[in-house]
Amino acid sequence: MDRHQILSELEFKAVRSSGPGWQHVNKTSTKVELRFDPASSQGLSDSECLIVVNRLARRMDKDGLIRLTEDNSRSQLRNKQVVSDRLITLIEEALKPRKRRRPTRPTRASKEARLKGKKLHSEKKRSRRRPDID
């Protein structure tokens, strides 16, 4: 993964922030929308591109673009930096190899504790029943 190449491929769009505001929010475009196309990125190898597309499929739109927005800061530059960092961490997390799960078996103590809990629960239920009169 070539971080600098990816950062050079990003497309930014500045829009007005939503929500209540005074004069400042009505005249400045500080909200930043980032678009990134992993399929045509030169910063990712083919295998990395496949991994990113598969693992970040839920974050992609129908065009195959990853879209992120940021509007926490009143500075457009700061919002650009934050959203760029978020994208890089997303890609790095997607490229991390997943740990394989080691199948385990329950211990004897955990089995006994589970059965003891079930027995206590059934006793509680049995004690609430109407008495059996013969």
pLDDT at 5: 87
Strand arrangement, sheet containing 66-70: 11-15, 31-36, 66-70
In whole angstroms, how far apart are CA 34 and each of 25, 26, 78, 84, 125?
20, 21, 13, 8, 58
Cα–Cα distance for residue pair 5/9, rounded to 1 Å: 6
pLDDT value of residue 6: 87
Residue 19 Rama label (left phi>0; alpha psi -120 to 50; beta): left
pTM (predicted TM-score): 0.69
**Could you give the CA distance from residue 33 to residue 26 in angstroms, rounded to a whole number?**
17
In a 13 Å sphere around the CA of 8, the CA atoms on its Cβ side amount to 7
Q: What is the pLDDT of residue 87?
A: 93
Which residue numbers in the chain have pLDDT < 70? Answer: 19-27
- pLDDT at 22 (0 to 100): 64
- What is the pLDDT at residue 83? 93
Please check whether residue 6 is in contact with residue 39, taking contact to mean a CB–CB distance below 8 angstroms.
Answer: no
